[in-house]
């Protein structure tokens, strides 16, 4: 900033007005985001290092790392981080593989292709809380239509919400239904953009289907897959609505993802200081991992 | 593709068209599978309690609009729908105005330090919303701002402005530079060139981005749950309440009826701008 002021007079007085005009494009965004984004984060940091004062309903006296120590000692915090990790490890690969597979099928050239692609937008815009609700109905152990279909072929009934492992599967299924279409749409565009001649050449060289997929298509798609992964990761770490509307974190704590856990600690147990500390830990973890993924995807891009 | 098909020998063409047919059949089957939950939701919303709780599940039944009449003649649901409309459009319009300006600045205006802000704002996508919801609740409570539309509108700016800014930035980058250069040579000011030349040309992109922003705000749950209690409660909060109400048993009729009303307008809007949506997604993944 100070550099600007020292340079501006040399360019003449009219430049000042121009500089103001230039910045006025950027200024509303900066002011608003400082107000609603930067200030709340700063306040979270402050609370996380303070005791919570119930009288003023704000940050009390400075307690240093006490809240963080409390959180790190809390096994429930680690448990819900683990639950979140399990969800991510299942959901992200399943969604990316399914998304690209479906995109390949959908890209078969025929008249209805555009229509099918448009229809895939529908699950994407169903509010996550509605998605959670309707899947709870579909998967109901007694009246749900899905258990009925399984029953027709002699399977089940499955207790989708009562068994801890199945409840995690339920969350992954709902999330996959809601988000795979998003990947399908990205993947259809990416597949259409693949250069045709490379595949023709592979065919002439006598490469089989799997060889073509493995050593021609996948390397070409790697940057897009990496980018899709990063976008999807940033959405998935915020997982909250679907769990709240379907399993409510249960049975027990088996699907209590970290955001739900922090939410309940803050707004049900009123442990605001500890929640702030947990939110800061999650924020730092997310930023670090996002950085790692971004560097990884850049590497993939430069490799090819 | 088709031309190489017709030139190919007959026997190969038949084999190709078999796998081609299998691909199309698979595509249709998977699409139907993905649409089924929405279809079943709409179907269930027109059933009576007796038809809902029965096995085997009924595909054909006597349709009734009783649930819709019951829930939309009650005071709370229409009020919540109205709240959602106010908050979603308010947040969408505020973010599109502010985010289009800064997206243009990042794409076209040489500004020392602006790129740093751009990257910082992009990084904010990694901030967990709960880290914002806790302080927002505390500040809003102390300032008497809870349960007000404006509070939610401002809260939604935290994710909408970065979204709009980066989408519009990539849109403006793709426009030819000569557009505003010639306008500014003709004596237009920077603002003049932006509002008279750039904005009208970008209207399709701006409107589509506005629609996505409204959709994102329309479905938001966490901030609405935390920042509203009675007067400004939105539809997602109401749905979470219906879905989580296990004491009276599963109220599927209410859930599906309110869910249908929430989803249908969004689906219509999304289908209207689907071309742009797919393009934007693809660009975001390949260039971002």
A26 contacts in chain B (CB < 8 Å): 101-102, 105-106, 109, 111, 114, 117
C-alpha to C-alpha distance for B124 and B114, rounded to whole angstroms: 15
| Rounded to 5°, angle at Cα A168 from A164 and A172 | 165
Which of A35-39, B77-81, B191-195, B215-219 is predicted with the least confidence, judged by mean pLDDT? B191-195
> Do residues A187 and A120 touch, judged by C-beta distance below 8 A?
no
- Could you list the pLDDT tens digit for every one of the 304 residues in chain A? 444 444 444 444 557 777 888 888 999 999 999 999 999 999 999 999 988 887 778 887 888 898 899 989 999 999 999 999 999 999 999 999 999 999 988 888 888 888 888 888 899 889 999 999 999 889 888 888 888 888 888 887 888 888 888 999 999 999 999 999 989 988 888 888 888 888 888 888 887 778 878 888 888 888 889 888 988 999 899 999 999 988 888 788 889 999 999 999 999 888 899 999 999 999 999 999 999 998 888 887 777 5
Q: What is the mean pLDDT of residues B64-76?
A: 82
Tokens 């009303």 locate to: B261
Residue A62 pairs with which residues in a beta bridge?
A50
**Interface contact A18, partner B, CB < 8 A:** yes
What is the rounded distance in angstroms from the CA atom of residue A152 to the CA atom of residue A210? 35
Residue B106 has pLDDT above 80, yes or no: yes
Contact between B105 and A22 using a beta-carbon 8 Å cutoff: yes
Best B127, B143, B235, B237 residue to mutate vs chain A (most A CBs within 10 Å): B127
- Residue B286 pLDDT level (bands cut at 50, 70, 90): low
Average pLDDT score over chain B: 84
What is the band of B3 on the pLDDT scale with cuts at 50, 70, 90? Answer: very low
Reported pTM: 0.87
Flag if A282 and B131 touch (Cβ within 8 Å). Answer: yes
Q: What is the pLDDT of residue A6?
A: 44
Check if A205 contacts B (Cβ < 8 Å): no
pLDDT confidence of residue B57: 80
Give the model's confidence band at B246: pLDDT under 50 very low, under 70 low, under 90 confident, else very high. Answer: low
> Are residues A286 and A237 in contact, defined by beta-carbon separation less than 8 angstroms?
yes
- In terms of CA atoms, which chain A residue is nearest residue B272? A118
What mean pLDDT is predicted for residues B70-99?
Answer: 91
Its ipTM equals: 0.86
Minimal Cβ distance to A127: which of B105, B250, B262: B262
State the average pLDDT over residues B229-252: 82
Q: What would the pLDDT profile of B44-53 be if each residue is shown by its tens digit?
A: 988 887 787 8
The string of pLDDT tens digits covering residues B5-36 is: 444 444 455 555 778 888 888 889 999 999 99
Does the CB of A74 have a partner CB in chain B at under 8 Å?
Answer: no
CA-CA distances (angstroms) from residue B288 to B112, B118, B163, B174?
A: 22, 13, 12, 13
Task: Reply yes or no on whether the pLDDT at B149 is more than 50.
Answer: yes
Q: In this predicted structure, what is the pLDDT of residue B247?
A: 58
Give the span between the Cα atoms of B27 and A105, in whole angstroms.
5
If one counts every other C-beta atom within 10 angstroms of the C-beta of residue A285, the result is 16
Band of pLDDT at residue B2, cut at 50, 70 and 90: very low
């Amino acid at each position: 900033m100070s550099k600007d002021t020292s340079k501006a007079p040399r360019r003449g007085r009219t430049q000042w007005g121009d500089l103001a005009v230039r910045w006025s494009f950027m200024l509303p965004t900066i002011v608003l985001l400082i107000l609603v984004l930067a200030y709340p984060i700063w306040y979270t940091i402050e609370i996380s290092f303070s005791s919570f004062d119930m009288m003023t309903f704000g940050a009390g006296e400075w307690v240093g790392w006490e809240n963080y120590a409390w959180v790190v000692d809390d096994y429930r915090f680690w448990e819900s981080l683990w639950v979140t990790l399990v969800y991510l490890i299942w959901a992200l690969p399943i969604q990316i593989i399914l998304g690209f597979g479906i995109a390949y099928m959908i890209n078969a050239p025929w008249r209805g292709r555009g229509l099918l692609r448009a229809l895939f937008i529908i699950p994407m815009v169903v509010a996550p809380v509605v998605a959670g609700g309707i899947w709870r109905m579909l998967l109901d152990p007694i009246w749900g239509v899905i258990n009925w279909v399984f029953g027709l072929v002699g399977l089940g009934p499955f207790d989708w919400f009562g068994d801890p492992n199945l409840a995690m599967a339920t969350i992954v299924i709902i999330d996959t239904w809601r988000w795979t279409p998003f990947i399908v749409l990205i993947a259809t565009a990416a597949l259409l953009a693949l250069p045709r001649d490379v595949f023709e050449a592979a065919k002439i060289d006598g490469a089989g289907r799997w060889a073509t997929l493995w050593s021609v298509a996948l390397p070409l798609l790697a940057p897009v897959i990496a980018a899709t992964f990063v976008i999807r990761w940033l959405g998935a770490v915020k997982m909250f609505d679907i769990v709240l509307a379907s399993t409510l974190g249960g049975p027990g704590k088996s699907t209590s993802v970290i955001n739900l856990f922090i939410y309940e600690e803050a707004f049900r147990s009123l442990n605001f200081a500890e929640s702030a500390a947990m939110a800061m830990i999650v924020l730092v973890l997310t930023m670090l991992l996002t950085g790692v993924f971004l560097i990884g995807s850049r590497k993939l891009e430069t490799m090819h | 593709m088709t031309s190489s098909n017709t030139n190919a020998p007959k026997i190969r063409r038949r084999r190709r068209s078999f796998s081609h047919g299998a691909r199309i059949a698979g595509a249709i089957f998977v699409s139907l599978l993905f649409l089924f939950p929405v279809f079943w939701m709409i179907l269930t919303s027109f059933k009576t309690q007796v038809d809902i709780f029965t096995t085997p599940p009924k595909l054909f039944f006597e349709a009734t609009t009783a649930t819709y009449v019951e829930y939309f003649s009650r005071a709370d649901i229409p009020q919540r729908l109205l709240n959602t409309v106010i908050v979603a459009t308010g947040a969408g319009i505020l973010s599109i105005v502010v985010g289009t300006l800064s997206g243009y600045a990042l794409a076209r205006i040489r500004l020392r330090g602006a790129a740093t802000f751009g990257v910082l704002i992009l990084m904010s996508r990694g901030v967990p919303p709960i880290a914002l919801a806790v302080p927002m609740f505390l500040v809003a409570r102390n300032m008497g701002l809870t349960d007000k539309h404006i509070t939610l509108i401002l809260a939604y700016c935290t994710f909408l402005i970065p979204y709009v800014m980066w989408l519009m930035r990539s849109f403006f980058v793709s426009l030819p530079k000569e557009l505003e250069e010639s306008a500014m040579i003709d004596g237009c000011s920077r603002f003049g060139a932006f509002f008279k030349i750039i904005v009208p040309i970008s209207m399709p992109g701006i409107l589509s981005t506005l629609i996505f922003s409204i959709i994102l705000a329309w479905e938001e749950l966490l901030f609405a749950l935390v920042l509203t209690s009675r007067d400004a409660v939105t539809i997602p909060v109401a749905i979470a309440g219906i879905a989580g109400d296990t004491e009276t048993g599963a109220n599927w009729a209410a859930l599906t009826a309110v869910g249908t009303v929430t989803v249908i307008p969004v689906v219509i809007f999304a289908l209207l701008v689907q071309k742009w949506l797919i393009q934007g997604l693809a660009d975001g993944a390949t260039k971002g």
